[in-house]
Structure 1
Amino acid sequence: MATTKAWVLHAADPRAEATRGQLTLEQIPLRRPEAGEVLVEPRIGCWEANMEHAIARHPVDVARQRGEDRIVLGTCGVVRVLATGSGVSGLREGQECLWIPFGAIDENGYAERIAAYDAPGSPGLLSGRFVTAARLLLPLPEDSRYPAERWAPFARYFTAWDNWRVALRCWQAQGDDHWDEPPLVLGWGGGVVFAQLELARRAGFRTAMVSGRDSRLAGIAASGATPIDRREFPDLDHDAAKASGDPDALDRYADSRDRFVERVRELSGGRGASIFLDNLGGGLHRVTLRSLARESVLSTVGWKHGMRLSNMRAVECIGRHIHVHTHAWRFQDCRRIRDVQESTGWLPEITEPVASFDAIPQLADAYSRDVFDSYFPLYEVNA
């Protein structure tokens, strides 16, 4: 049987306490494409948060959950068609495509399992070649103006497009089209929020984004959004303050919170954020709620620092705050979003070097320590 090289993650020993996993370079079996399938080779991938979750085995050991001894990660990137099985049309050898990692799709077009993550038996981009269903390949536009590197982070942009579409419509449901001045869209998070704020600016909103890193603050400013330096408000995490045991911690939290809210009001003409894109949550959730305007939207598409949130229901009702929760995007919208990106140039600028395939473990380590300046860390599998 043919084989291909791959960085694999082994399931933890069920008899031992689960520890952080390690990627190992191995040869894995490679079968031929059957009817409706395509053999592809990954070109450029973008490191995703779900890859870190899998390696950290938090919140679950994904390999064990899938019932497999080893799995291959890599959910977002560009692949090249090598060969097609019978019954495949619209794809040709050498064609570059986005690989849509939907392992299972419900009747509405939403992913119930993600390939290269929690979908059993699914392949991943951290391999030299793999076989996939042809329907999961979305060809890049012929003679695209943009290189594969700028397309590789597409999942963040597809997710951003979907979440922004819902959040904007919810905000419009309560207000009218007349603005005395542009309402504020504020966000903290990563690449998804960065992409959403570009859509908000194009829709006429004033935008701002929070970061605690000089390089990212500079990138936020260059994009046209107002940068807010998180380091000016060092004690915004309510949960950390409450758990610290320090009798003064909650007072410091309240001071940071009040100064942050005042900053938001300065940027919004005293109203607060009309749409707050919060993909962090956790101990920052209270600050997010305090920063909202009346008739506003709190929208999230992630749960990086906390999967459980609480709020005062009466306050949210009186404030007429709509809470939006989405995940990924609808499968049937893939071509539409791709075409928007190609026609409008709504793609990321890639400013950092692309990691080599041999450097994948170092890339994984750097991501776990959050030392990247870019929101879109890329790696190359096949040149």
Structure 2
Amino acid sequence: MIDTEAWVLYERSGHIQSALDSDEFRLEKFSFPGPESDELLVEPLFGSWEGNMTHSLQRRPIDICSQRRERRVVIGNGSVLRVLRAGSDVRGIHEGDVGILYGGHVQDEFGYTVLVQGYDAPGTVGVLAKRTKVAARNFLPLPPASNYRLEQWAAFSVRYLTAWSNYRVAIGAYRLQVDAHEDPAPYVLGWGGGSTLAALDLARRAGCRTAMVTGSSERLAELARLGIVGIDRRRFSDIEFDEARYGRDPDYRAAYRQSERAFLDIVGDWTHGRNAAIVFDYIGAPVFRASVKALARQGVLATAGWLMGMQMTVNRAIECIGRHVHVHSHYIRHGDSPAAMDYAAREGWMPQVSEIYSWEEIGRLARDATAGRLRSYFPVYGVNPI
């Protein structure tokens, strides 16, 4: 057995929803079986706080302890790792090597993620631990020419790999209907968090005209520095759609319609009446209706997340007439990851990390994340000394 220190999530007791409303998420000793012959014993150096970690603590959309049928779980799957020991069947990876974790613990026959380490894959130990083990195939060495900080690679490991895959499918779907000579610089709109920002930055680098919705002055300034148009969500503050409330509450319905009209007017002004060729909507149900209405004909609605709601109502006739394509993806194919990492190292497509929480501050980080108080698109925490 391997003994370590970890932030441990316990199964839910009673009717308490969030683990942070009790003592069900805490720092303590944790033990796990040693690595198999095709696995690595590793120590995380930096971790990235991901949306699925917040979901785990809130126990929405699933309770992962219940899903995994485990009393105690260590979460976390965005990280830079250092190898401590390689299994006897491992080739080409040695003690001291540094890389990022590919989180797809269970993959389908084509290399796409089914279950995620440190989330819904049973028996896995996430990176909120001083030591953990990973499948050797899921250790992705950093590009040899990388001049970027390890904390940047930690933030890159989930959000940027997810964005790479989602963007490539979305732009590919658009180009099946509209050729580059017909629309050489598509309008691409997004709202969400770090994955949305990464996808928009990738689109901008490919020559697209990009804009992102945010309600934060700090983030509007960050978007301006990146050359992405910032759309201030405070100008349409009642944009979150609740279908049931819309049907029964006339005051809410009027406020929503006013906000939706304001949002669509801003998008129309930005696109000169064309609307967006691609909308990255990583939020979900509350803005789905507005996202669809902001699409141009032949437009693509793309998502790889469901931050606030998973169920949406679609008018199939309108979507068919508009020839809208809906793209749903989940992380990245294992074999596509090295190309994304090489591009990032070569072109500078990397996150800017502005704040790093210490190992002891992870409880505060968890509370900031669940309360929506994070100031950065890329919250990072330290685990072990470099």
- Taking structure 2 as the reference length, what is the TM-score of the superposition? 0.95
Q: Following TM superposition, by how much is the alpha carbon of 1:143 offset from its aligned partner in structure 2, in angstroms?
A: 4.7
How do residues 314-353 of structure 1 correspond to structure 2 at under 5 angstroms?
Answer: 314-352=317-355
Q: Following TM superposition, by how much is the alpha carbon of 1:193 offset from its aligned partner in structure 2, in angstroms?
A: 0.7
Residue 93 of structure 2 corresponds to residue 91 of structure 1: yes
5+ residue gaps, structure 1, are none
Counterpart of 2:17 in 1: which secondary structure? coil
Alignment partner for residue 128 of structure 2, among 126, 129, 146?
Answer: 126
Q: Is the 8 A contact 1:76 1:152 kept in 2?
A: yes
Deviations 1:145-182 (A, max 9, x none): 11101100221000000000000011011112225773
Quote the residue 1:210 is aligned against: 213
Counterpart of 1:152 in 2: which secondary structure? helix
Residue 19 of structure 2 corresponds to residue 17 of structure 1: no
Relative to structure 1, the CA distance from residue 244 to residue 311 in structure 2 (aligned partners, 3 Å threshold; closer, same or farther) is: closer
Quote the residue 1:371 is aligned against: 373
Separation in structure 2 between the aligned mates of residue 356 and residue 375 of structure 1, nearest angstrom:
17
Separation in structure 2 between the aligned mates of residue 318 and residue 72 of structure 1, nearest angstrom:
47
Alignment partner for residue 78 of structure 1, among 77, 80, 83?
Answer: 80
Separation in structure 1 between the aligned mates of residue 321 and residue 183 of structure 2, nearest angstrom:
23
Residue type of the partner of 1:248?
D
5+ residue gaps, structure 2, are none
Q: Following TM superposition, by how much is the alpha carbon of 1:216 offset from its aligned partner in structure 2, in angstroms?
A: 0.8
Q: Following TM superposition, by how much is the alpha carbon of 1:33 offset from its aligned partner in structure 2, in angstroms?
A: 3.1
How do residues 41-56 of structure 1 correspond to structure 2 at under 5 angstroms?
Answer: 41-56=43-58
Separation in structure 2 between the aligned mates of residue 31 and residue 290 of structure 1, nearest angstrom:
51
Deviations 1:65-111 (A, max 9, x none): 11111010111110101111212111111111111111211101111
Alignment partner for residue 188 of structure 1, among 184, 188, 191?
Answer: 191
Residue type of the partner of 2:358?
S
Q: Following TM superposition, by how much is the alpha carbon of 1:245 offset from its aligned partner in structure 2, in angstroms?
A: 5.5
Counterpart of 1:39 in 2: which secondary structure? strand
Residue 223 of structure 2 corresponds to residue 225 of structure 1: no
Separation in structure 1 between the aligned mates of residue 267 and residue 334 of structure 2, nearest angstrom:
36
How do residues 285-304 of structure 1 correspond to structure 2 at under 5 angstroms?
Answer: 285-304=288-307
Aligned residue pairs total 380
Residue 144 of structure 2 corresponds to residue 146 of structure 1: no
Separation in structure 1 between the aligned mates of residue 307 and residue 252 of structure 2, nearest angstrom:
23
Separation in structure 1 between the aligned mates of residue 260 and residue 371 of structure 2, nearest angstrom:
26
Separation in structure 2 between the aligned mates of residue 180 and residue 380 of structure 1, nearest angstrom:
44
Counterpart of 2:266 in 1: which secondary structure? helix
Quote the residue 2:265 is aligned against: 262
Q: Is the 8 A contact 2:246 2:252 kept in 1?
A: no
Q: Is the 8 A contact 1:75 1:101 kept in 2?
A: yes
**Identical aligned pairs, as a percentage?**
44
Residue type of the partner of 2:310?
M
How do residues 58-69 of structure 1 correspond to structure 2 at under 5 angstroms?
Answer: 58-69=60-71
Separation in structure 2 between the aligned mates of residue 338 and residue 246 of structure 1, nearest angstrom:
49
Separation in structure 1 between the aligned mates of residue 36 and residue 178 of structure 2, nearest angstrom:
53
- Taking structure 1 as the reference length, what is the TM-score of the superposition? 0.95
Q: Following TM superposition, by how much is the alpha carbon of 1:304 offset from its aligned partner in structure 2, in angstroms?
A: 1.1
Relative to structure 1, the CA distance from residue 358 to residue 240 in structure 2 (aligned partners, 3 Å threshold; closer, same or farther) is: farther
Q: Following TM superposition, by how much is the alpha carbon of 1:132 offset from its aligned partner in structure 2, in angstroms?
A: 2.0
Separation in structure 2 between the aligned mates of residue 174 and residue 244 of structure 1, nearest angstrom:
36
